[in-house]
A and B are shown apart, each in its own frame.
Chain A
Amino acid sequence: MIRNILFTITGAVLLAAFGAGCGTTGMNPHGVNVTEMRPDERGFVAGTGIESQDLVAVADKMARSILATTQIANAQGKPNIVLEPVVNETRFPINKEIFLTRIRVALNTKAGGKVTFLARDRMDALEKERDLKQTGKVTGGVANAPVEFKGADFILTGKLQSISTRSNNGSSDYVLYTFQLLDPRTSAILWEDFAEIKKQGQSDAVYR
């Protein structure tokens, strides 16, 4: 009788030990090969921050919305647009130009030449080239030529804001993306649209 009980105890100790020790049937023990993904796809390396799929979704939505505005759709001629870097008020450091670059490219692709974007971020290089032309150092310029750099009909800019929470139950981030088309002459907001994305997640217990 005693022997049976002892065998049972020994067996239980062994089982408990091996059961605990064998909890290593982990995922991807040999890593994951490089996977090519679409930028609008959510990857397996994910956080609650601003990611490529958000950039693509937001930029495409904004580009469609801008094209539908009467100021663009019914414009006489091709309006000139200047991009101003977005204001980042979130808790995520970002490349501030990437949203507007993505919107510009989407507009240029979809608008079929309805608008012209002015390369204000390249003014240094443009001025240098103009000066070289005007001084006759390179071809194509006339001395004392009038200013040909175009002024903006519209300024496209945006703002990213967020509400973030974190506790033992995980992290949650709500990001509000707002974009505006401004009239630089009157400061009027001619168009505005927004997108919002909320994400939450919780890390494994070993990180909590």
Chain B
Amino acid sequence: MNKACQLAAVALLAAGCAAPEIKKAPAVSGDLVEEGRKLIAAASEKDKILWRYRVALVAMKAGRFTDARQLLDECLPTIGAILTADERTIKARSLFGNEAQKIYVGEPYEQAMAYFYRGLIYWMDGEPDNARACFKSAQLIDGDAKDKAFASDFALLDYLDGFATAKLLGDGSDMLRRARASAVSSKTNALTALPDYDRQANVLAFFQFGFGPLKHGGGRYGERLQYHVGHSAVHSVRFKIGEQTLHVSALDDLSFQATTRGGRLMDDILADKGSLKKPLEAIATIAPAAGAVLAGPKETRGTALPIIGAGVVAGAVSNAAEAMADTRTWNNLPQHLAFTAFRLPPGSHTAAMEFFDRDGKPLPKLTRSLTFEVRVGRDTVLFISDQ
């Protein structure tokens, strides 16, 4: 082997043996809220509200209500506004536009939950009337269900609306009746889950259990907004503080809320896009074959090329057309909501919590205790999540 060959062989070996470049994983602080804020900053404008929702709930679960308040306050002005046409909505509606190009505000159940959590924090801050305003808005957002039997049917939102009214020395009985009616229609034991209001109750405990619904695109082109129903091992919790024992059952079901909205106007637009894609696909499939057949005989040879061309164009248009529904989901929502209110004297208290499944069997792995401070002059609001 001559020298040149030897050098080339060495060079090749050296090149082959070069150690792969090891990229360091980005530094992670371990602070989920701070990491979430980085994700919000990095998210495109159209996805920022989605990330704010998610991080706000992470913050609430971590007991960081100031962060959650700020994040939700950044969302509510947009979801409360009349969102008129802009470049994104026009594009989302167009044949080649994707629905997910619009600014995400969430489906009504997601928007309702943003208001619900903000209401909870208002109550925590000693503003039950602003909390009530949020619960009213949440319920109203759920009001455009196609089947009116499912419109504004969050039992807990009506119950809390009436409870805030009762606490503010008003008459919340209408809301209590509505809440119980909604609870009955969703097969919850209304009288157990929604007792009469106790104006003197100074501790409000909000619970959430399980994993909420997730969106996916159904139909041939993903044009139908559908849901993977959420799930929850927990169905109730026993809350024991000193001599008091409270059994709190799941009340509202977010999968039920998500799936009972009925058709959206956007679904019709997506269906139209899908129905346009279908014949174009057929042309794209048939036209080349027909063109090939016509290319054989001399007398039809002239028409073959345009037919093949039409097939190619139809295929390109069909591929470029976007009929996929927007499946961006607030994916850390729970499956169930539950609530109870009770009286405690001011000072420090510790509650023991045992969780139970649908059949009433205990889930010992989830058993835990909670220590909290009851203050004078305002209600103490507890937020407890099994996840």
Interfacial residues, chain A to chain B (CB-CB below 8 A): 2-3, 6-7, 9-10, 13-14, 16-17, 20-29, 45-49, 87-94, 96, 164-168, 170-171, 201-208
Contact = CB atoms under 8 A, between A and B. Distances in A.
Interface string B72-87: 0000110011111111
Contact of A89 (B129, B141, B144): B129
A205 B269 contact: yes
B382 to A, nearest CB: 21
A45 B81 contact: yes
B317 interface: yes
B170 to A, nearest CB: 8
Interface stretch (B90-98, B176-184, B224-232, B344-352): B90-98
Interface in B93-151: 93-97, 99, 102, 105, 118-119, 122, 127, 129-134, 136-137, 140-141, 143-144, 146
A103 to B, nearest CB: 19
A24 B83 contact: no
A172 to B, nearest CB: 10
Interface of B: 76-77, 80-97, 99, 102, 105, 118-119, 122, 127, 129-134, 136-137, 140-141, 143-144, 146, 168, 170, 264-266, 269, 276, 280, 283, 302-303, 306-307, 309-310, 313-314, 317, 320-321
A164 B118 CA distance: 19
A93 B134 contact: yes
B87 A27 contact: yes
B130 A93 contact: yes
Contacts of B94: 20-24
A68 B136 CA distance: 36
B271 to A, nearest CB: 13
Contacts of A22: 94
A2 B299 CA distance: 12
Contacts of B143: 165-167
Contacts of B132: 88-89
Nearest to A202: B82
Given A24-B87, A167-B144, A203-B83, A17 B310 contact: no
Given A13-B280, A167-B144, A6 B93 contact: no
B306 A7 contact: yes
A208 B91 contact: no
B173 to A, nearest CB: 15
20 contacts: A3-B302, A3-B303, A7-B306, A14-B317, A17-B313, A17-B317, A23-B90, A24-B90, A46-B81, A48-B82, A93-B118, A93-B119, A96-B127, A164-B136, A168-B146, A205-B265, A205-B269, A206-B266, A207-B102, A208-B266
Nearest to A44: B84
Given A49-B80, A208-B264, A10 B90 contact: no
Most buried by A among B92, B144, B168: B144
A204 B92 CA distance: 11
B306 A10 contact: yes
A190 to B, nearest CB: 23
A24 B91 contact: yes
Contact of B310 (A9, A92, A93): A9
A13 B314 contact: yes
B168 A205 contact: no
Contacts of A23: 90-91, 93-95, 97
B86 A28 contact: yes
B130 A88 contact: yes
Contact of B140 (A91, A170, A201): A91
Contact of A166 (B102, B141, B269): B141
A87 B164 CA distance: 12
Contacts of A202: 82
Nearest to B152: A166
Nearest to A47: B81
Contacts of B140: 91, 164-166, 171
A2 B83 CA distance: 48
A48 to B, nearest CB: 7
Contacts of A170: 82
A204 B81 contact: no
Given A26-B86, A202-B82, A204-B86, 10 more contacts: A6-B306, A22-B94, A26-B88, A47-B80, A93-B76, A201-B82, A205-B93, A205-B269, A207-B102, A208-B266
